[in-house]
Every structure is written in structure tokens, then in C-alpha cells.
Amino acid sequence: MPSRISLVNKEIWKTITRSVGWVSIIYFLGLFFSIPLEILMTASEEQRKFIDIDNLFQYHFQIQIILNMSIPVLMAVFLFRFLQLKPYSDLMHSLPVKREAIFHQYAIAGLILLILPVLLIAIIVLILYQPFFLNDFYNIGEIFKWLGITLMYNILIYLSGVFVGMVSGLSAVQGALTYIILLLPVGLIVLLAFNLPFYLYGYPSQYYLESKFEKFSPLVSLTQINYRASGAAEIAVYLILIFSIYWLSLWVYKKRKLEAVSQALVFPVTKPIFKFGTTFCTMLLGGMYFGEMRGGMGWLIAGYVFGVLIGYVIAEMVLQKSWRVTIHLKGLMIYTAAMAVLFILFQFDFTQYEKKLPAAKEIERVHISESYYLYSDIDRDEPLYLREYENIDMVRRLHKEIVENKNIDHRQSNVQDTAFIVYELKNGEKLVRNYKIDKTNYRPFYKLIYESDEYKTATNEIYKVEANETTKITITPSGPVNKRATITDPDDLKEAVEILTEEVDSAAYEDSQNHVEPYAYIEVFYGDSKKAYMQWNPSYTKFEKWLKENSLLDEARVTSNDISYALVMKAEDLEINHARGFSYEEIFEDMKQSNLAMKMTNKEQIETSLKNAKGFIDGEYLIAFYFEEQRAIDIKNFNGENVPDFIKKHFE
Amino acid sequence: MIKISNARKSFEELEAVEKVSIHVNKGSIYGLLGSNGAGKTTLLKLLSGIYLQDEGSVTIDGQPVFENTSIKDKIFFIQDNPFFLPQYTVKQMAQFYKSIYSGWNEDRFEELAIIFEMDIHKKIHKFSKGIQRQAAFILALSARPEILILDEPMDGLDPVMRKKVKSLLIDEVADREMTILISSHNLREVEDLCDYIGIMHKGRIILEKDLDDLKSDTHKVQVAFKGPVPAIFDSMKLLHKEKRGSIMICIVKGDAEEISAYVEQFKPVIFDLLPLTLEEIFIYEMGDVGYAIQNILG
């Protein structure tokens, strides 16, 4: 009787509400507590002052997240409980109802029960909107945005749960596997990003890890919806996913063999996929953990072996539903052999990843810096790019040199620097590489690039300043002093800008690499509220001279006049616990107590020390400056050629 | 009406049903016998449209059963452990089935509830096993199916209840030509009910018989002669023969009167023609295999 088994069978609907109605109710109560109740409770004038909310997600966001992550999966698991329990499954499938009809009825009923609570909350907030003056915080469109986005995520997560339910034959596996699949895209990206650098020399993990990959996982993306707006493309992809997962689930359900109910995975083909997929992921996880410890190749391989064993055994346990399992060694051996082949292939760079270097004429422009963050975290509109042929060619040659030195550099433990290179090709493609190197080995390349006009123009804001338009220059000394030099005279300004430009023009690469702390930070104000920022490096002696001539020097940097005395000691004579933490005051007190310390009061000596000291607590000698007026201490160090002769002499 | 031909069903590596063919006529009660793991339940689930055979065909009235709602509407399947929707009362289950089976008869349901003295407003899972099974019978019979499929239905019922259920089933068959398929691991349990018997062993049907034919057809003959035994056995359908002293005991197939007339010709000193128990018939019929499945006969 087709009419009786049509889509809306009242009794089946009743069964569904009887079994999963509670999920819907909990969801409603949770949301009600999070949003409308919060609105009611913070309605008073006094409390409103402290409300910092501009969309609905921000009301008890954590609670909303937990609900949005768990409720859809709970719904899918309990709704399709009849699939995972053999007698229940047999009962439902002996009825004169087609699987298609069962699926539509259950899946859609679940959808309705998920949508209803959210819809009700949206209606309640709409009702509250006028009387509670919510327009002070957000416009009415936010309510619909909240409704739409919440439902989109809910439905996607719910349908993923439904789909997994069709594939698995145990409710617990259905729940767990749903989360795994939802996290898998992000998880794999992270695992691969951490592992690939071991095989692909120059693989820029950070570049891929930071490239907004969160949206590949609805679960991760969901945790950011309170501040990150979903793009149109993202929404389109999610909607397409929603429809395709629905139909895919139905298709799989029709093929489901009921005799496999109560097995972890119903379809035999999925078992090896699950087994080797799990093994692969735990292998990468092991590699990531041990690889990050930097214990060398031996530990890395140990991490892999460990990960493979754990993953393989866990997968077997899940599939055999017992912890006392027989391990199928054959599968493990095939897997190991496959991985060994892959490993060897990577050693031969079979993807040509390492050797790949675009020809200079293919390159539109190139970025080179010491870190990915100098590429991504920038105040400017776009990162530094070089377009001139000489520079492009120089970066290419540097790149080639680094790759050729792969095996030399690789094993050095004192490799501290990073070379981050991005080529933008004329055909629109990008080639990104990241190398750990010792920059001193490549000084000629860096020197030529960094001293080129193009590089200097691109990296120094001072070149943008029109000397005539300058309105003010402030020079703020680095160090615990409160003074500041200000230039406002138009002629002085013009001169200063010219000198500063000249200084930058003639600055040598080495001066930018010696880590000496700048004397001061300079801000050049020009045009309509535009500002150029730069550092005053001790190597800018012309500028220093000019300041002196204009009697600005005393205000512009820390001088020996600010310092009543300084103490110098060999670092090895001091006990500094870097792990526990230390304060300048403690170290200074220790130096004062010690009879090994050299006390310096000679102004000239203090001046020389100021010029040469670097701003970290490591190195051969430590120097503590005491600022009388501020009663402040600054501690710096000397190292190698920077150590002034009189200090060397004293400690001999 | 029910026709299974060359059906095969395997679960991963295990072959549950191998090339089974059976034929059940409308209005008959077919008993499917076999020890545990013989494949009875699998065969019944193939017939109920729960499983899909890997090979062969399972048809009712010429139509395949799987995913065929109009055929499944005529079938009711009671599992070996009856299952009901969680937390449901008998009444709620009745409403559920009423909305699904077109043949549902509410009057019949109320009548049966009275016959079985069933509290229809109590949650079924709170009942004992036996009462749950009765509830399953009430619901199944109220759905008025043309075909009733019962997997080990007598387990957990006391003798009085067994009798009640059996007579109800026989009435239904007599009244409206309902067809019943019933599985059991014990021949005695169903021998008074079934008119057809199929014996399954390791996934195959090894014997299919009409019980009435079988009973009237097979006899135990005891004879003794003075002097040498004449060659009377050559022209008889013998299943078994043995000699105890001067008495010959044999199992013979054929019409009782014809056998008597034939044997009397040889003027035996002693001649008895005795009926056999079903159990004995099967053991003699099946020879070696008979011993392998003896446990279902006793």
C-alpha cells in the first residue's frame, strides 16, 4: 500500500521523536541558556555598559560551540541507532518500507529536530530585539546570519554523522569516526607539514600551516565563527557538501548489508582503508613528535616505527572489537615495504621538489626574508618583493647554493637562520621554500641583495619621505630613559631626512647583521599624518655628528651622562639560571656583591661600552649600566670583536 | 507460492546458505529443521527481505522479495528473540504496525489480547521472555499476513502456551490459507504442526518431505519364517534390514495393505507391520547423514 508507506508515516515520526526528541530539547535549553536568558539577565542599564558583543555567537560562545559540535553527532548516532543493533535493524528492514523511504524519513526528521531549536531561539531573539534595544549592539541581520551559519554547520556535522553511520555498524564507532573524519583534513595538513620537511628539503611548513587551512575542517572552522566571517565560496562549498553527503549516504545505505551490523565497519572495502589510514596517521604523528625533538634521523625513524605499531594495533583492535587481538603480520609487512619504497623515492627526490628552480625569465618577482612571519605579518599592503633581474638572479643563485649544500648544512646543529623564499611566476604560480641555514656561509649573496638599491628602497620607509613635506621627527632612545629629541625646524628637518637617507643608502650589510641594539627609534612625520619609521643604528655616524652639531645628541640617545656607573663581569663567573628565570635586579645585586666585577665610572669608557654592547644576556662579558636618575638597570653583553680593549685588559 | 531457487548467501568468508532451493505451497506449514549454525535463520531472513542473496532467486508469487514493499506487506517475520521498538507498550507497537501493514485488523488484535490475557498498556521490555513472545504472536497475527515467518518460535513458551499458539496457527492456516515457515532445531517441537519438513545441514537442504506421505509410506516390518528365509525382500523398497535371532526387522516403503498382502503370500510365522516415529523415519531415510543431525530429531 504505497499510501501507507509514503514519506510521512505518523507512527515512524512518533518513533523518531520518542527516541531522539530529548536531543532536540537539550539543544533548545542549552541555546536558551546561552542567548535569550543572557539577554534578559543583562538587560539593566548598568550591565549594558559592560556588554561587548556584536553578534549572536558571542553570547556564551564556548557553550554554543560545545552544543554545535556535540548535538548534531548525538542526533545522528541516536537517530540511526536502529542500524547498529542487529535485532532492531532486522525489525526495521523486515517491514514493507523501502530503504529509501526509511532514510528520507529518518534523515529529514533528524534535520527538523536539529533546525527547530535554533529557529525557536532566533524567533525569541527577534522578539526581544526591539524591547531590549539590541540594536545598540548589532543590527537585525546578525540574527539571521547567526541562524544561517549555525544551521549550516549543524547540518554538515549531522550529515557527516549520518554518513559514517551508514558505513559503520557500531554506534560508538559511528560517533568517534565522525569526529575523526571532520578533523581529518586539518589533521593531515598538520601532520604532513611537520613531516615533509624531513623529506623535501626546503618544504615551508609554516607557510602551509598558516594559510587559513582551518576552513577545511568544519569543526575547527566552527570554533572561529565568532570572529571570522564565512566567505561566499566557503558557504557554497559547505552547501554542496551538505547535498552530496545526503545523497551519498542514501546511496551507501541502499548498498548496506545488514548481516554486517555490529561490526566496526560494514563494508569490507573500508576495513583496509581504515587500518592503513590509521597506521599512516599515527606514523606521521610519531614522526612529528620525535622529529620535533630534533634527536636526529635515528629518533625520527624510531618515531615512525613506534607510530606504525601503535596505529596498526589500535586499528586491529577496533576492527576486531577486542584488545586481545591477533595481529595480521602480512598486512603490516606490506605496509612497511610500501613505506620503505616511498622513503627511498623521497631520498632520490622523485618529485623533483628539491631541484625545482624556476628560470629567471619565468619569474615575475621574488620575496626573500629571514622568516615566514616577515612575509605574512606585515603592516604594509603586501610583503617585500624584488623585481629587478639582478636581484631575482641573485636569489636564484643563493637558492641553488643552499640546495647544493643540503647535506653539509643539514647536519650542523648551530644552524640558526632561516631563508624564506617565495617566487611569483609569470604564469601566476607560486614556488615557496624555507631553509634552515647558517647565513654567514652565504654572506656574498646576502650582501649583494641587501645592499641593492631595490632592496633598500623596499625595506626602508625613509625613502618614501619627501624631505620638503616633513613636519616632525622624533627620536626615542632605547633604554630606560624618559627623554626624547624632537626636530621641527623646516631646515633641520630637511637636512635630517637627507642625512638619514644617505645613511641608509650607504649602510653595509654587515651592520644590519651584528645584532647591536639601535641607539634610538626614529619616527618621521610627513605629508598628511603619514609616518615613516626607522632605527638609528650605531653605524650611522654622520647622523650622530649632525645631532651633535645641532645639540640634540644628549636627548636623542642614552649617553654616558645618563649613567652613573657600570659593572662588568665575565658571564661564566655569574650564576644565571635561565630555566628558572631571573631579574636584572638580582643579577645586578650579584655583580655588586662579587669581587670579580669591574666598576666603570670613566665617561669615555662608558660611552665606548654603550656603542659596542649587544642587548642579550649571553656572550662572554656582561655589563650592567646603572641609570642614576631613573634608578634603573640595563644589562647587555660583549662578545668576540665587540669587547672593548680596556675590558679585555682588565680581565687579563 | 514461495520459491527459493539456488540461493546462496555468504558472510565474508563464511558460507551461510549454499545453493538452496525450496518450494512452499500456499496454505502449508513448512518446518525448517537444522542444528545451530545450519543456516536456517539466514534463509528466513532472505525470505523476509532483510538480506539480499548473493546468487539465485527468492520469490513470492513470482516476484523478488528484497525491497519489494507490496510483497513484504504480506509477510510478517518474528525473530528468534522478538524485538520491539524501545520503550514501547503492546498498544503502541500495535499502532505502529497498524500504520505499516495494510492487512492490520484491530478487532483481531483486541480479541487476541483477551485470549492471551495480555496487558497491552505495559512496556514490552518489562515483560518476561515468554510473555514477550506471546506479544509478538499477537502482533503478528493481528497484521493478518499471508505468510508468517517464525524463527525458533517455541523457545521460552510453556507447554500450555505452545499448544495455544499451535492451535491458533493451525486455525489461521485453515481459515484463510495463511502460509507458515517455521524454523526449529527440534523435530518433535513441530512435527504435530508441519505438513512439510526441510532439513538443513551446513547451509544446504539435505531433505525435503511431505510429512503425511512420509508417515503413511514408511513402515517397520517384523517377520519370522520356518526354515530358510524366502527371497521376499528383493521386490520390496527396503531402507534397512537386520536380523535378531529368527526375526527379521526391516524398514519398508510403500502402501501398508500392499505390503501386508505381499508378505502374507510367503506364510510367515510372525508378521507385524508397525508405524514408525518420525525420528526413526528420518534416521533410516537419511542413512549416514542422519546420524550427523540426530540431535535435531530427538
Nearest chain B Cα distance for residue A100, angstroms: 9
Chain B residues inside the 8 Å CB shell of A95: 72, 100
Per-residue confidence (pLDDT) for residue A79, from 0 to 100: 96
* Better-scored residue on pLDDT, B61 or B290: B61
**Closest chain B residue to A90, measured at CA:** B50
Average pLDDT taken over every residue of chain A:
86
pLDDT tier for residue A177 given thresholds of 50, 70 and 90: very high
All CATH 3.40.50.300 domain ranges of chain B, comma separated, are 2-202
| Among candidates B49, B86, B102 on the partner chain, residue whose Cβ is nearest the Cβ of A1 | B102
Chain B residues inside the 8 Å CB shell of A99: 67
Residue of B58, B73, B133 best to disrupt the A interface, most CBs of A under 10 A: B73
Chain B residues inside the 8 Å CB shell of A10: 99
Q: Cβ distance A470 to A493 under 8 Å?
A: yes
Per-residue confidence (pLDDT) for residue B1, from 0 to 100: 85
Residue B60 pairs in a beta bridge with B2, B63
pLDDT of B98 over the 60 cut: yes
Q: Does B167 touch chain A (CB under 8 A)?
A: no
Per-residue confidence (pLDDT) for residue B293, from 0 to 100: 60
Instruction: Give the integer Cα–Cα distance in Å for A254 and A617.
Output: 69
Per-residue confidence (pLDDT) for residue A197, from 0 to 100: 84
Instruction: List phi, psi (to 5°) of A250.
Output: -60, -45
| Among candidates A4, A99, A259 on the partner chain, residue whose Cβ is nearest the Cβ of B102 | A4
Rounded to 5°, the CA angle A305-A311-A312 comes to 90
Domain range summary for chain A, segments of one domain joined by +: 10-259, 268-356, 361-456, 460-556, 560-651
CATH number of B2-202: 3.40.50.300
Per-residue confidence (pLDDT) for residue A272, from 0 to 100: 92
In the three-class reduction of DSSP (H, G, I as helix; E, B as strand; rest coil), residue A361 is classed as: helix
pLDDT tier for residue B266 given thresholds of 50, 70 and 90: confident
What are the cell numbers at B294?
A: 540426530
Q: Does B52 touch chain A (CB under 8 A)?
A: yes
What's the average model confidence in pLDDT over A440-465?
A: 84
Q: Does B77 touch chain A (CB under 8 A)?
A: yes
Nearest chain A Cα distance for residue B265, angstroms: 59
Per-residue confidence (pLDDT) for residue A4, from 0 to 100: 43
SS (H, E, C) chain B: CEEEEEEEEEECCEEEEEEEEEEECCCCEEEEECCCCCCHHHHHHHHCCCCCCCEEEEEECCEECCCCHHHHCCEEEECCCCCCCCCCEHHHHHHHHHHHCCCCCHHHHHHHHHHCCCCCCCEHHHCCHHHHHHHHHHHHHHCCCCEEEEECCCCCCCHHHHHHHHHHHHHHHHHHCCEEEEEECCHHHHCCCCCEEEEEECCEEEEEEEHHHHHHHEEEEEEECCCCCCCCHHHCEEEEEEEECCEEEEEEECCHHHHHHHHHCCCCCEEEEEECCHHHHHHHHHHHHHHHCHHHCC
pLDDT tier for residue B186 given thresholds of 50, 70 and 90: confident
pLDDT digits (tens, 9 = 90+) for A92-145: 999 999 999 999 999 999 999 999 999 999 999 999 998 888 888 888 899 999
Per-residue confidence (pLDDT) for residue A450, from 0 to 100: 86
pLDDT of A412 over the 60 cut: no
Among A168-172, A604-608, A609-613, B208-212, the range of highest mean pLDDT: A168-172
pLDDT of A2 over the 80 cut: no
pLDDT tier for residue B103 given thresholds of 50, 70 and 90: very high
Q: Cβ distance A622 to A637 under 8 Å?
A: yes
In the three-class reduction of DSSP (H, G, I as helix; E, B as strand; rest coil), residue A494 is classed as: helix
User: Inter-chain contact B79–A91, Cβ cutoff 8 Å?
Assistant: yes
Q: Does B102 touch chain A (CB under 8 A)?
A: yes
Residue A159 pairs in a beta bridge with none
Cα distances (Å, whole numbers) of residue A570 to A263, A576, A615:
70, 12, 16
Per-residue confidence (pLDDT) for residue B294, from 0 to 100: 61
H helix intervals, A210-353: 218-222, 232-255, 270-292, 297-320, 329-347
Instruction: List phi, psi (to 5°) of A370.
Output: -90, -5
Nearest chain A Cα distance for residue B11, angstroms: 7
Q: Does B124 touch chain A (CB under 8 A)?
A: no
- How much is the ipTM here? 0.88
Chain A residues inside the 8 Å CB shell of B150: none
* Better-scored residue on pLDDT, A644 or A68: A68
pLDDT tier for residue B242 given thresholds of 50, 70 and 90: confident
The alpha carbon dihedral of A505, A506, A508, A512 has a sign of: negative
**Closest chain A residue to B98, measured at CA:** A11
Residue with cell 596498526: A312
| Among candidates B45, B67, B73 on the partner chain, residue whose Cβ is nearest the Cβ of A1 | B73
Per-residue confidence (pLDDT) for residue A3, from 0 to 100: 42
What are the cell numbers at B47?
A: 525470505
pLDDT digits (tens, 9 = 90+) for B72-86: 999 999 999 899 999
Instruction: Give the integer Cα–Cα distance in Å for A194 and A291.
Output: 8
Chain A residues inside the 8 Å CB shell of B77: 90, 94
Residue of A8, A19, A90, A266 best to disrupt the B interface, most CBs of B under 10 A: A90
Q: Does A15 touch chain B (CB under 8 A)?
A: yes
User: Inter-chain contact A10–B72, Cβ cutoff 8 Å?
Assistant: no
What's the average model confidence in pLDDT over A69-97?
A: 95
Per-residue confidence (pLDDT) for residue B55, from 0 to 100: 93
A–B CB contacts, 8 A cutoff, strictly below? 75
Q: Does A88 touch chain B (CB under 8 A)?
A: yes
pLDDT tier for residue A481 given thresholds of 50, 70 and 90: confident
Q: Does A94 touch chain B (CB under 8 A)?
A: yes
Q: Which amino acid is at A651?
A: F
Nearest chain A Cα distance for residue B230, angstroms: 59
Chain B residues inside the 8 Å CB shell of A253: none
Instruction: List phi, psi (to 5°) of B279.
Output: -55, -45
Count CB-CB contacts under 10 A for residue A85: 18
Q: Does B100 touch chain A (CB under 8 A)?
A: yes
pLDDT digits (tens, 9 = 90+) for B21-78: 999 999 999 999 888 888 999 999 999 999 999 999 999 999 999 999 999 999 999 9
pLDDT of A609 over the 70 cut: yes
**Closest chain A residue to B77, measured at CA:** A94
Count CB-CB contacts under 10 A for residue B223: 21
Q: Does B242 touch chain A (CB under 8 A)?
A: no
Residue with cell 575542517: A217
What's the average model confidence in pLDDT over A294-304?
A: 81
What's the average model confidence in pLDDT over A184-210?
A: 86
What's the average model confidence in pLDDT over A34-54?
A: 83
**Chain A stretch 267-296, residues whose beta carbon is closer than 8 A to a beta carbon of chain B:** 268
pLDDT of A302 over the 60 cut: yes
Per-residue confidence (pLDDT) for residue A229, from 0 to 100: 77
Nearest chain B Cα distance for residue A26, angstroms: 20
**Closest chain B residue to A15, measured at CA:** B85
Beta strands A520-526 and B204-210 are unpaired
Per-residue confidence (pLDDT) for residue A5, from 0 to 100: 47
Cα distances (Å, whole numbers) of residue A5 to A12, A251, A376, A650, B72:
10, 20, 59, 100, 12
Q: Does A328 touch chain B (CB under 8 A)?
A: no
Per-residue confidence (pLDDT) for residue A381, from 0 to 100: 67
Chain B residues inside the 8 Å CB shell of A1: 70, 73, 102
pLDDT of A410 over the 60 cut: no
| Among candidates B73, B86, B98 on the partner chain, residue whose Cβ is nearest the Cβ of A96 | B73
- Region label for A294, one of left (φ > 0), alpha (ψ between -120 and 50) or beta (otherwise): left
| Among candidates A10, A11, A91 on the partner chain, residue whose Cβ is nearest the Cβ of B83 | A91
pLDDT of A149 over the 50 cut: yes
Nearest chain A Cα distance for residue B55, angstroms: 14
Residue of B41, B65, B102 best to disrupt the A interface, most CBs of A under 10 A: B102
Residue B251 pairs in a beta bridge with B220, B240
Residue with cell 626546503: A202
In percent, how much of chain A has pLDDT > 70? 95
Q: Cβ distance A188 to A253 under 8 Å?
A: no
All CATH 3.30.70 domain ranges of chain B, comma separated, are 215-296
Give the CATH fold of the B215-296 domain. Answer: Alpha-Beta Plaits (3.30.70)
User: Inter-chain contact B72–A95, Cβ cutoff 8 Å?
Assistant: yes
**Closest chain A residue to B67, measured at CA:** A98
Predicted structure pTM score? 0.80
Nearest chain A Cα distance for residue B142, angstroms: 15
pLDDT digits (tens, 9 = 90+) for A485-537: 888 888 888 888 888 888 888 888 877 776 677 888 888 888 888 888 888 88
Per-residue confidence (pLDDT) for residue A358, from 0 to 100: 87
